[in-house]
Amino acid sequence: MKPDAFLALEDGTVYRGHSCGAPVDRLGEVVFNTGMTGYEEVLTDPSYAGQIVTFTVPELGNTGFNRADRESAAIHASGMICRDLNPPSSWRSEEPLSDVLRRAGIPAISGIDTRSLTLRLRSGGTLKARICCSGSEPPETAIAAARAWTGLDGQDYASAVTCPAPYDWPLAPEPPAPQALPDGFAGAPAPSTSPLVAVLDFGVKYNTLRALAALGARVRVFPAKTPAADILAARPDGVLLSNGPADPAALPYAVQTIRALLGKLPIMGICLGHQLLAITLGAKTARLPFGHHGCNHPVKNLTDGTVEITSQNHNFVVVEDTLDPAIAQITHRSLNDGSVEGLAAPALRAFSLQYHPEAAPGPHDASSSFHRFLRTIRP
C-alpha cells in the first residue's frame, strides 16, 4: 500500500506511513512512550496535550478503545505514531482505536519505523514536528511549519485542558457501554464526615480522583486558575496539585495560589503539580533532553531505600541545586538519569512526586502515596 501520510521533523527528516486517524495536519512535539500497554490512558491523559506520541511497542490497537480505560473526556495528544495498528480482538473493546481518532479529529500514522524515530529522539532530543494526514501539504512546507512553531517552552497548556467549573467526584453515571461499564464514573459519594480534598486541575487524570475516592475522601475539582480564597472558602482538609501539560514556568497564577495555600493545608503535588510546588518553594525547572514517558521508570525512595517502578510523562524537571535544603528535601531520585523525582517540605506539610502514583497505565508500586497524603490530613 502506497504511503499517504508523513511526519516532518524540524531537523528536516521525513517519515512516511499510512493515515490511520483523522485526515488532518497538526503541529506538536514528538515524544516516545516505552509502555507495553495502556495506549488508551496515554492518549486521553491531558499531560500529553501538544505532543505527538510515538509508541515503541510494535503493535497497537488490539484492545480497541473503551470508556472504562480513558483518563479524561477527550483525546489530548496532538497526534499518534505507531508501527502497526491492528483491529481490536479484545472482548472489552467498544470500538476500534482508528474510529475514535477520526471522530476526535486526531491524526495518526502507522507503518513508521518507530525504532529509527525513537533512536533519533533518544540521541538528539525532543523535536518539533508536523504530522500530515490530509494529503494536501508538501513535506517542505511541513518542515518549515515545524521549525516556525513556538513549541511547548513558555506555554500554558493547563488553561486549555482544565475543567471549566468546579465539580465533585464521582461524576454522574454515563449510559452503560455495550460490553463494559464506565468504571469510576459512577459511585456513592463519601460521607460528609470524610476529609475533603480540593484538587487543582492542571490536567488531572480520572484515576487520581478514583484513587482518592477509593480511600474514602470527598473530592472536589477546581479549575487551574481558581484563586486561593475560593479554595479555602470550600473548607477542604487538603489540596492536591494535579499533573498537566507543557511548561510549569508558564503558570505564575498557579504559583501565586500555591503560595497562599502553603502552611495552611496539607498539599500533595503530582508531576506538573510537583514542579509547581518546587517553583513556589524557590526552585527552578528545566527541560530534559527527551523527557520521561512510559510506565517502566525505576525511582529510588531515598527515605527508606526502596525502589519503585513508576509511570511517567514529563519533559521538564526540577533543577536540584536550585532547591533550598533548609526548606525542602529531595525524597526520590530517578535511577535512569539521577533527576529529582520527589521532594518534601515537612514544616509546611507538603510533598510531591514527579511520577504518577495513580498508575494509569502502569505498575501500582507508588499507590501508597495517596495513603501518605490522607495520613497527613488525618493522622
Query: Where along the chain do its domains lie?
Result: 5-148, 158-377
The domain 5-148 having CATH identifier 3.50.30.20: the answer here is yes
Weakly modelled stretches of the chain, pLDDT under 70: 1, 172-189
Q: What is the pLDDT of residue 364?
A: 83
Q: What is the pLDDT of residue 128?
A: 98
Enumerate residues 6+ apart whose C-beta is below 8 A from 218.
Answer: 168, 189, 190, 192, 194, 195, 196, 197
Q: Which residue, among 199, 196, 221, has the nearest Cα to 374 in the 3D structure?
A: 196
Phi, then psi, of 63 in degrees rounded to 5: -90, 5
Distance between CA 82 and CA 206 in Å, rounded?
25
Q: What is the pLDDT of residue 189?
A: 65
Helix or strand holding residue 148 (H, E): helix 139-148
Give the SS3 label for residue 8.
strand
Expressed in angstroms, the distance from the first to the final Cα of the chain is 62
Whole-model pTM? 0.94
Q: What is the pLDDT of residue 267?
A: 98
Q: What is the pLDDT of residue 172?
A: 58
CATH of domain 158-377: 3.40.50.880
Q: What is the pLDDT of residue 378?
A: 84
Enumerate residues 6+ apart whose C-beta is below 8 A from 200.
Answer: 222, 224, 226, 231, 239, 240, 241, 242, 254, 257, 273
Enumerate residues 6+ apart whose C-beta is below 8 A from 183.
Answer: 68
The residues annotated as belonging to the active site are 271, 356, 358
Q: What is the pLDDT of residue 359?
A: 83
